[in-house]
Structure 1
């Protein structure tokens, strides 16, 4: 069970029609979430400031449109079961209206359990009531975090010791219940499952109306944790498609505990993975480097490519990795990664990725065209560094 101190979940949904049952998330969602930086101290003013910064920095126009309030906004339920906000969020409808006035979308957070990760009121037993309330506020995104519902699952295991699927079935039913409640509101609300990859949600999430689902436990602002999560996504590409996406958790770019090269590795890997791009930093204190990474047009275009394919590992050799992602127009994105503690050369054979006669190569982070290349392309990378290339015929 996650604690307030360790939690940093991002919820996602999927669906069975072309772009999901709710018609959303044709491309991986992009935006900002309050948790990674503000955690349990976030306020209405912080969220409004984030909305302002998304506009003034150009992030909104680059595609970052969701403004998501994470855990700890909740107050108490009244005698009718209506959940009220706490003093840090005096008027959620007004907050949503403000976000919408900026040309942005409004996200909220809850749990299928009685309590959230931070110990605030969850939605257990109030799913339809809460979904209607979210719709009345103008909510566009719900992150639904497993948290205390793990207690219910453990109880199911204890009560049904001979049924290995008792806990899983209970969890799926809980996520289905909220998915149905969101659909019943008539408002398109992107549904994000945050349950840490428990029981492989990529296999059953689409049937619940989910647009994205967490594939891993929580990320933090460290290189070791980031690469452990990112490289663990190998083999999951077949489960991602327009309308439903694998979610390796939010971005830590700009939170200050990784180097510029490590943050470039973070962004490179996430865009190759066609991951939702949810910034988690203080947008009012971004460095030029933070902005250049988060708003690199070529990197974002890889993530948002209309083909809707997630990339996967081409090969691994010790501390060196090569990943590729198919792009529209017969192009291929290539990520070269050096996980070692020294400068290393990392190579890709263009013939091995479909360019037997060579191709035009663009370096995303250097923002330059490398011209026509044939055979093996080699990049010299710093420790924990990455190169991100786009190859076209």
Structure 2
């Protein structure tokens, strides 16, 4: 009997030590340290578990799978009208059933080392882009010097570096593609024939790789970069360089003067549908209700599912329009890879404040409606310069985007990504948080003393917790369960390191590096 009592006492003591007193002190490497474990050789199916399509609209999806090749990927349970090209790894077609319905499809990936399976819901209904878009956009990489060859080069790079195997799929042209004239059967904006000699061929090439294709426009007479826009003071939409917006003058006259009398939304949307465009960024400021709604209707009536992204600095007053009409909406201005220095564009501290305020006071988003914190700054570092981010600041930046559930759009030269930068973009457990089917952004908590929290509910019942240190020194942090609305014993997993830490009873205690973060998953014991 004494031995039993002693055994129970030892177990109780060990349990108390495990859950009460442990301070997590994660280890780091030197220089540009990599936390993401090497991807395994066994198959793993990545990307979202849910995908939206409107009735009678074209469907295309390439299944993102990591693991050693050769590999066979099987798809069963496809609804009538869809088929799977095993060689290209692309599901495509048009569903025969026109009613709103969810179809559960089964994916299975097999190689010589093992297999993986996943259920995938195809949701037929009014909503598309049920999880945040992932991919690449041309603006920072090429600015207005974007060309067909350059875009195709980046599409091929997205495939060659393997980002598509993690769910990155959009290849978007930003400002600078326009040829400053209207034409074609819809009297729509035509491409610059020297930069983009065959936009239809480009679209076909991108889709043939299992990727999606995006484009750019504005409701103004001319775009930020000085190209033809979606409105005109001429009824036929004719444009010439005399119509270039003098931004300083127009600022004095009022931004409403940048909009032309005649709107060409429907013309352009029908042309984009013919080109098989999948994503459209509509860029102006301020984002007004009339322009938001007019283009939303034009895109919806085009007959194609085109993700509608508005930019930039969407006013809080337009939150209700975003909830009803827009798939992706920018919460602030353009950002750059700086922690706190003031320049023309926002730094990461500005972006942190702006985005959290929008989620709190505007509309936090949900499936089919995603608040957008701008491009990921990965690959845009000026390493060693005063403007560069530290390694910890990069983890801070990427972690916030993952937890916010904001779109993951790169704008760098994908061919130049380093091993460290790839590790930031390809941590499958962080990506699962971003792509969680609830599409519920993290809630922001001001913990005090330079520490702020992001807390995100996940569809499996667990919680993702990000602890962000804004201090200039390493800081010990204790997060009581009561602060984030939970109780009881919890299993804790370090998400970046993909490693179980242990069990904590009433709080989680950890060390956090200066300007860095710790991201954990809290799981019911």
TM-score by length of 1: 0.85
Q: Distance in 2 between matches of 1:200 and 1:94?
A: 41
- Residue in 2 aligned with 1:135? 273
2:201 is aligned with 1:94: yes
Q: Distance in 2 between matches of 1:362 and 1:355?
A: 16
1:222-301 paired onto structure 2 within 5 Å? 222-224=338-340, 225-234=347-356, 236=359, 239-256=364-381, 257-301=388-432
Q: 2:453 aligns with which of 314, 322, 326?
A: 322
Q: Which runs of 5+ in 1 are unaligned?
A: 1-14, 151-167
Larger radius of gyration, structure 1 or 2?
A: 2
1:68: Cα distance to partner? 0.7
CA contact (8 A) 1:339 1:384 kept: yes
SS at match of 2:314: coil
Greater mean deviation of Cα atoms: 41-50 or 90-99: 41-50
Structure having the higher helix fraction is: 1
1:163-242 paired onto structure 2 within 5 Å? 171-207=288-324, 209-224=325-340, 225-234=347-356, 236=359, 239-242=364-367
Q: Distance in 1 between matches of 2:494 and 2:146?
A: 38
CA contact (8 A) 2:481 2:507 kept: yes
Q: Distance in 2 between matches of 1:321 and 1:204?
A: 30
- Residue in 1 aligned with 2:131? 27
How many aligned positions are there?
A: 356
Q: Distance in 2 between matches of 1:346 and 1:51?
A: 42
Deviations 1:52-106 (A, max 9, x none): 1222222112111111110111112147744221222211111111110110110
- Residue in 1 aligned with 2:190? 84
In structure 2, relative to structure 1, the CA distance for the partners of 1:290 and 1:79 (3 Å cut) is closer
Q: Distance in 2 between matches of 1:230 and 1:21?
A: 33
Q: Which has the higher contact order (CA 8 A, sep 6+)?
A: 1
Deviations 1:349-388 (A, max 9, x none): 2354354222111112222111222233222222211111
Greater mean deviation of Cα atoms: 135-144 or 25-34: 25-34
Q: Distance in 1 between matches of 2:353 and 2:455?
A: 13
2:147 is aligned with 1:43: yes
1:45: Cα distance to partner? 1.9
Q: Which runs of 5+ in 2 are unaligned?
A: 1-53, 55-99, 102-122, 232-262, 341-346, 382-387
1:343: Cα distance to partner? 1.7
- Residue in 1 aligned with 2:225? 118
1:264: Cα distance to partner? 0.9
Deviations 1:101-132 (A, max 9, x none): 11011000000111111011111122111111
In structure 2, relative to structure 1, the CA distance for the partners of 1:60 and 1:22 (3 Å cut) is farther
1:49: Cα distance to partner? 1.7
Q: 2:484 aligns with which of 353, 360, 363?
A: 353
Q: Distance in 2 between matches of 1:351 and 1:93?
A: 56
SS at match of 1:328: coil
CA contact (8 A) 2:292 2:321 kept: no
Which 4+ runs in 1 deviate beyond 3 A? Answer: 17-22, 78-82, 350-355
Q: Distance in 1 between matches of 2:225 and 2:497?
A: 42
TM-score by length of 2: 0.64
1:345: Cα distance to partner? 2.1
Greater mean deviation of Cα atoms: 355-364 or 242-251: 355-364
SS at match of 1:239: coil
SS at match of 1:220: coil
Q: Distance in 2 between matches of 1:312 and 1:37?
A: 32
Q: Distance in 2 between matches of 1:260 and 1:28?
A: 25
In structure 2, relative to structure 1, the CA distance for the partners of 1:315 and 1:137 (3 Å cut) is same
Q: Distance in 2 between matches of 1:44 and 1:373?
A: 54
- Residue in 1 aligned with 2:434? 303
SS at match of 1:251: coil
CA contact (8 A) 2:404 2:441 kept: yes
1:11-22 paired onto structure 2 within 5 Å? 22=126
